[in-house]
Copies of this chain bind each other. A is one copy, B any other.
């Protein structure tokens, strides 16, 4: 595959527009079959490229999922297992690999990356240096970094950085210290009071902001600014905060959808009967309890749909811009998300667990190269993981994929209509050590870890801490209501999935300083450097190898003491 890509001059001229939406569910697009939500621009990219229908993230939480996507490595390999868990200094990222391949790698928007300040200090790295800045920013060069959560509470700001978006709103004249909270993410109630988007009762109100100034159009403008001046080859990670909560959207999107557009919740009473302890603990938390109320779903989901509709319209602007400026033939476009949103399905809100609504994401890739003409408009149901993007980009940049570091696999063969040998199971992990559920279950942080193994039909959830597993058969039970692990008779299936998890557990993830080729090249080297721990009299090898160990014995009669 790599060799093919390397032999293609076309790939050398291709830039990458790597667009990530935050908390966008796989099935909230018309091309993915949503009954009411029309997303013509997502569909337009799907028609130009390939839509991967079985794309799984490596952790159902922003930070850990993104660290896997940006490093091309599983969570247990890079270790940044939850929001605010720093990515260890020195960990290789997409940017490291792409720059080595001669491609710039820029960030426009959110990463949710926390720098390993202690590690950087230990190595004497200053965030002010180019090297230090890249270490502190997950390997990206920064066009704009805005994680999009400028929440404020009694202990201060959730994100202590300066908000470029707040600066923008202030420059536009919005009179507030935190216009993100007061305008972009709040409406106005009947008394003229602030109606914060944090509160579900307000999610049907229009955000108190001019639509073109809201977050998605703002970042789209910044993206066009970047592209206008960029000289290739470049990879731009355009990372939108939406449709992530707070669930509130400006007019006209706030009332485009109503309760009649809200699908019935996918949930079943049997899920609440003796639920798995972790699942049970989540079902009872505040956000899940809220989403269990139909009136909450009917207020929140239309806002979520409105946010997606706005994302689609802004994507349309971007696509038109690429066409009008003649860049469509030289730009790979990737559309994906960092995880889904339960929206009340399975009695859950948010993400955190391993049902499809949480771990499956949209993955649409338009590859402009002629090699990809055969697959335009097609879907691919291979088991794809978010960690496959980094190697795909390195491959496109024409470099050999460093598979001793990157654990994902290039998707170019699929885009070119080939059928490569592929993984037999997808892995997802969740570390809930910092959550109230860990406390509620009385677990130590080290034991609050979940692993998903999905082989395309069966999905296992293994829980550390001595807790039982969960098992679903998505063929006979596509909605994942029926936990087979609670019933006898599935030992063989559990064993088979546990074997896959064990195989994965023994994977080669940390031998990052020696590639397969390095190793082949170093073989026998010590022999030619005089290390000969096996000879009886020297006749076993060429004379050349023993040249330094023969001849008259030197004398030491006259040592100066």
Contact = CB atoms under 8 A, between A and B. Distances in A.
Contact of A510 (B88, B156, B537): B88
A552 B155 contact: no
A551 B178 CA distance: 13
Contacts of A84: 522
A94 to B, nearest CB: 14
Contacts of A439: 523
A493 B84 CA distance: 42
A449 B154 contact: no
A526 B123 contact: no
Interface in A442-487: 444-446, 449, 451, 462, 464
Given A123-B131, A553-B194, A533 B154 contact: no
Chain A: interface secondary structure? loop
Contact of A556 (B79, B209, B531): B209
A506 B508 contact: no
A537 B199 contact: yes
Contacts of A504: 505
Contacts of A270: none
A interface residue count range (under 10 / 10 to 19 / 20 to 34 / 35 or more): 35 or more
Interface string A298-340: 0000000000000000000000000000000000000000000
A79 B536 contact: no
Nearest to A513: B86
Task: Give the oligomeric copy count.
Answer: 2
A261 to B, nearest CB: 21
Interface in A496-552: 498, 501-502, 504-506, 508-514, 516, 519-520, 522-538, 540, 544-552
A243 interface: no
B287 A534 contact: yes
List the 3 closest pairs (A to B, CB-CB), nearest first: A505-B505, A79-B510, A151-B530
Interface of A: 76-81, 83-90, 96, 116, 118-119, 122-125, 129, 131, 135, 149, 151-158, 172-176, 178, 181-183, 186-189, 192-196, 198-201, 208-210, 245-246, 285-287, 290, 293, 296, 349-350, 404, 431, 433-436, 439, 444-446, 449, 451, 462, 464, 498, 501-502, 504-506, 508-514, 516, 519-520, 522-538, 540, 544-556, 558-560
Given A84-B522, A194-B552, A505-B506, 9 more contacts: A81-B511, A88-B512, A90-B90, A154-B545, A158-B526, A181-B530, A200-B537, A286-B534, A464-B506
